[in-house]
Structure 1
Amino acid sequence: MSALEKSMHLGRLPSRPPLPGSGGSQSGAKMRMGPGRKRDFSPVPWSQYFESMEDVEVENETGKDTFRVYKSGSEGPVLLLLHGGGHSALSWAVFTAAIISRVQCRIVALDLRSHGETKVKNPEDLSAETMAKDVGNVVEAMYGDLPPPIMLIGHSMGGAIAVHTASSNLVPSLLGLCMIDVVEGTAMDALNSMQNFLRGRPKTFKSLENAIEWSVKSGQIRNLESARVSMVGQVKQCEGITSPEGSKSIVEGIIEEEEEDEEGSESISKRKKEDDMETKKDHPYTWRIELAKTEKYWDGWFRGLSNLFLSCPIPKLLLLAGVDRLDKDLTIGQMQGKFQMQVLPQCGHAVHEDAPDKVSLVLNDCKKTTVRITLDATEDKSLSLSLHCLQQLLWSLCRCNCTSSPNSPWQLLMALALHVCAEELLVLCCFIPGPCG
């Protein structure tokens, strides 16, 4: 792999460092925000994109955890959206408006543990197993034993958690799986450089406007509209900051640093303490989660991810910002038609934020099969067909080209449908891979 290719793969988790030519800079480099065309970096409320917000309580052995979800839509299958590391459910805001305008569906965007407005008893536990269980628990708390058809869509870390959730069968009504710009090979390669990237970020911001401005001008989010709502979920007001290394603020991150004076160690230490005391007043916003402290979980999120993804017995879609991100296992799987893949060039790592319209179009175009079964109501309400059973039948149907056999999935589906008592059973929208899928 060339040096240029390696540089393009830096910062794959949880968010991607600026790429050369994207208006960003390499770690440690400085970037000026000089005068130019004035842009509006003011924050935008979530209510401009989502219809409602809910705090879902989940019982566990340590007490109650509360998960923040943002929702839109009232009919159709549920698109359960999982954000990347350090981000929040608000990263899906602009995408939500785009997909709702094209597809009849329900949106549930979830703040994962230790992110956004979610509050849990053990915020330090960010293992893939725990977060996957969280997703299943939230679905159960919201919908009980009969959840609607659900498709999991996850970006970066959220994509990995979506795969772990699906492979563990924690969402029984799962109909499809979509990963956005996360591949095991490139993610594992990027872990070595992740700490350097995190150290290169500002630690504090003077205001929400400064945070939004930094995210756009550094290339973290290339879509200003999305940044104005998304960054609100990534930063919080400081409760007090102390750092032995001093606080790296937005001023240091995007404006030329002042050179340090030649001072003795005692005076330098004193100055750093004074700087820390002034940080809260001068730079009252900091990151909601310290990603550097989650390093011990990174390997568990991504190792073995490609094979887990390929082994999930449901229709699958992989969205990438570049075809070079495919690793060996996924390349072979894609050639065998085991999943659909779409590449959206000229996007950063946050594909769904940079190009929400394009992502919504891809999802709409991939809706290959819609099955609608309308039946007359009868007096016997005791007979029913489980959604999981119907999903498995449809999946078998997708893999079978022949419907003439008396035992074909179509024939089995219709035979079972005769025993279902409902005025309108359901609408299933699912991704269908190629004939070899």
Structure 2
Amino acid sequence: SQSGAKMRMGPGRKRDFSPVSWSQYFESMEDVEVENETGKDTFRVYKSGSEGPVLLLLHGGGHSALSWAVFTAAIISRVQCRIVALDLRGHGETKVKNSEDLSAETMAKDVGNVVEAMYGDLPPPIMLIGHSMGGAIAVHTTSSNLVPSLLGLCMIDVVEGTAMDALNSMQNFLRGRPKTFKSLENAIEWSVKSGQIRNLESARVSMVGQVKQCEGITSPEGSKSIVEGIIEEEEEDEEGSESVNKRKKEDDMETKKDHPYTWRIELAKTEKYWDGWFRGLSNLFLSCPIPKLLLLAGVDRLDKDLTIGQMQGKFQMQVLP
């Protein structure tokens, strides 16, 4: 019960919903430039570790690379590996010309392009790990052979049958979310209390990747998120345009006072791609010719194809209730 929970917390002890920086969990951050027909796209990655295989992490729909922050700290302390967590297109701090195109094919190509841009002709051994939408993209990337040095594939809590069934209720879930939040703290608090993020520590570092400040209602230029503002200020410093920099800071201060936060991506608008992410996924996963791991929250989530594949020993399965 709620009162029981309050008692355990101790009298008058309030939970801290303030945001925490990515730098508490990752060692570095990089904007990887990828050339394509329409010009340059930049993909935000967060990294940790200096040797061993690379765990390339792909987040779920609406989330961002920061959703892997707590996982990164935990795995780096246990295993010698390198972490590369990627903001997929349309998400987080990644900037692409066509952020509306969230097809499985396009996003899988993005993953291959980022690996190539980061490592050139000699990529290290890579394990692709994806959650939900990211799991689907990991499978599409693998089956199209877009990452040549792939060691293994891990899909977290995504099963075609369950996902296809869940898509029907997805729009209702999205409609039920608040449209705006008055502050980052407010967004973090909502995410935990609504059960969208179970782990308060994770919510404090990752919600900034899910929400942004609303486009300016009164400020003429509109606003970017605080995080973007800081990064752009650093870039402007390098160019030595002090006055622009100062004005930017003032604009940001105005914006912070006046405008609430909203979701970075309108997931409802991505509906036309959902089917393409998940349809045929189980067999696609089974046909990938590398070691495979399926992490599930419950064994009841297996669909028919995966149940048969599991009986035939085609992949390793781990249930984490």
Q: For the superposition of Structure 1 and Structure 2, which TM-score range results when normalised by the shorter chain?
A: 0.7 to 0.9
Q: Give the conservation status (yes or no) of the 8 Å contact 2:65–2:85.
A: yes
Q: Give the conservation status (yes or no) of the 8 Å contact 2:32–2:117.
A: yes
C-alpha displacement of 1:141: 0.2
Could you say what secondary structure the match of 1:258 adopts?
Answer: helix
In structure 1, what is the Cα distance between the partners aligned to 2:226 and 2:118?
Answer: 40
Deviations 1:253-304 (CA, angstroms, capped at 9, x unpaired)? 9999999999999999999999999999665100000000000000000000
Q: In structure 2, do the counterparts of structure 1 residues 194 and 281 end up closer, same or farther at CA, with 3 Å as the change threshold? A: farther
Counterpart residue number, 1:39:
15
Could you say what secondary structure the match of 1:255 adopts?
Answer: helix
Q: In structure 2, do the counterparts of structure 1 residues 252 and 200 end up closer, same or farther at CA, with 3 Å as the change threshold? A: farther
Q: In structure 2, do the counterparts of structure 1 residues 273 and 133 end up closer, same or farther at CA, with 3 Å as the change threshold? A: closer
Q: Give the conservation status (yes or no) of the 8 Å contact 2:92–2:264.
A: yes
Q: In structure 2, do the counterparts of structure 1 residues 113 and 242 end up closer, same or farther at CA, with 3 Å as the change threshold? A: farther
Deviations 1:186-243 (CA, angstroms, capped at 9, x unpaired)? 1000111111110000010010000000010000111100110010110001114799
Q: TM-score, normalised by structure 1?
A: 0.62
Q: Does 1:121 align with 2:101?
A: no
Q: Give the conservation status (yes or no) of the 8 Å contact 2:226–2:252.
A: no
Q: In structure 2, do the counterparts of structure 1 residues 277 and 327 end up closer, same or farther at CA, with 3 Å as the change threshold? A: farther
In structure 2, what is the Cα distance between the partners aligned to 1:334 and 1:109?
Answer: 28
Could you say what secondary structure the match of 1:260 adopts?
Answer: helix
Q: In structure 2, do the counterparts of structure 1 residues 191 and 261 end up closer, same or farther at CA, with 3 Å as the change threshold? A: farther
Q: Give the conservation status (yes or no) of the 8 Å contact 2:43–2:86.
A: yes
Deviations 1:290-330 (CA, angstroms, capped at 9, x unpaired)? 00000000000000000000000000001111111110000
Q: In structure 2, do the counterparts of structure 1 residues 267 and 319 end up closer, same or farther at CA, with 3 Å as the change threshold? A: same
C-alpha displacement of 1:35: 10
Deviates more, 1:120-129 or 1:243-252: 243-252
Q: Give the conservation status (yes or no) of the 8 Å contact 2:219–2:254.
A: no
C-alpha displacement of 1:146: 1.1
Could you say what secondary structure the match of 2:41 adopts?
Answer: strand
Deviates more, 1:111-120 or 1:242-251: 242-251
Q: Give the conservation status (yes or no) of the 8 Å contact 2:157–2:296.
A: yes
C-alpha displacement of 1:64: 0.3
What are structure 2's unaligned runs of at least 5 residues? none
In structure 1, what is the Cα distance between the partners aligned to 2:181 and 2:221?
Answer: 17
Q: In structure 2, do the counterparts of structure 1 residues 277 and 64 end up closer, same or farther at CA, with 3 Å as the change threshold? A: closer
Where do 4+ consecutive residues of structure 1 move more than 3 Å?
Answer: 25-37, 240-283
Deviations 1:55-85 (CA, angstroms, capped at 9, x unpaired)? 0000000000000000000000000000000
Higher helix proportion (structure 1 or 2): 2
Q: Give the conservation status (yes or no) of the 8 Å contact 2:293–2:315.
A: yes
Q: Give the conservation status (yes or no) of the 8 Å contact 2:219–2:251.
A: no
Could you say what secondary structure the match of 2:43 adopts?
Answer: strand
Deviates more, 1:325-334 or 1:248-257: 248-257
Q: Please tell me whether Structure 1 or Structure 2 has the larger radius of gyration of its CA atoms.
A: 1
Q: Give the conservation status (yes or no) of the 8 Å contact 1:214–1:250.
A: no
C-alpha displacement of 1:128: 0.1
Q: Give the conservation status (yes or no) of the 8 Å contact 2:237–2:245.
A: no
Q: Give the conservation status (yes or no) of the 8 Å contact 1:203–1:247.
A: no
Q: 2:199 aligns with which of 198, 223, 239?
A: 223
Q: Give the conservation status (yes or no) of the 8 Å contact 1:44–1:228.
A: yes
Q: How many residues align?
A: 319
Q: In structure 2, do the counterparts of structure 1 residues 280 and 43 end up closer, same or farther at CA, with 3 Å as the change threshold? A: closer
Matches of residues 177-192 of structure 1 in structure 2 within 5 Å?
Answer: 177-192=153-168
Q: In structure 2, do the counterparts of structure 1 residues 145 and 38 end up closer, same or farther at CA, with 3 Å as the change threshold? A: same
Deviations 1:321-372 (CA, angstroms, capped at 9, x unpaired)? 11111100001111111111111xxxxxxxxxxxxxxxxxxxxxxxxxxxxx
Q: In structure 2, do the counterparts of structure 1 residues 43 and 315 end up closer, same or farther at CA, with 3 Å as the change threshold? A: same
Q: In structure 2, do the counterparts of structure 1 residues 303 and 279 end up closer, same or farther at CA, with 3 Å as the change threshold? A: farther
C-alpha displacement of 1:145: 1.0
In structure 1, what is the Cα distance between the partners aligned to 2:296 and 2:174?
Answer: 23
Counterpart residue number, 2:294:
318
Q: Give the conservation status (yes or no) of the 8 Å contact 1:81–1:89.
A: yes
Q: In structure 2, do the counterparts of structure 1 residues 82 and 273 end up closer, same or farther at CA, with 3 Å as the change threshold? A: closer
Deviates more, 1:256-265 or 1:160-169: 256-265
Q: In structure 2, do the counterparts of structure 1 residues 271 and 206 end up closer, same or farther at CA, with 3 Å as the change threshold? A: farther
Could you say what secondary structure the match of 2:275 adopts?
Answer: helix
Deviations 1:66-113 (CA, angstroms, capped at 9, x unpaired)? 000000000000000000000000000010010001110000000000
Q: In structure 2, do the counterparts of structure 1 residues 326 and 51 end up closer, same or farther at CA, with 3 Å as the change threshold? A: same
Could you say what secondary structure the match of 2:11 adopts?
Answer: coil
Could you say what secondary structure the match of 1:330 adopts?
Answer: helix
Matches of residues 194-213 of structure 1 in structure 2 within 5 Å?
Answer: 194-213=170-189
In structure 2, what is the Cα distance between the partners aligned to 1:99 and 1:263?
Answer: 38
Deviates more, 1:109-118 or 1:234-243: 234-243
What are structure 1's unaligned runs of at least 5 residues? 1-24, 344-437
In structure 2, what is the Cα distance between the partners aligned to 1:253 and 1:54?
Answer: 16
Q: In structure 2, do the counterparts of structure 1 residues 122 and 326 end up closer, same or farther at CA, with 3 Å as the change threshold? A: same
Q: Give the conservation status (yes or no) of the 8 Å contact 2:88–2:107.
A: yes
What RMSD, in angstroms, separates the aligned Cα atoms of the two structures?
10.7
In structure 1, what is the Cα distance between the partners aligned to 2:112 and 2:91?
Answer: 17
Matches of residues 228-239 of structure 1 in structure 2 within 5 Å?
Answer: 228-239=204-215
Could you say what secondary structure the match of 2:269 adopts?
Answer: helix
Q: In structure 2, do the counterparts of structure 1 residues 252 and 168 end up closer, same or farther at CA, with 3 Å as the change threshold? A: closer
Q: Give the conservation status (yes or no) of the 8 Å contact 1:54–1:69.
A: yes
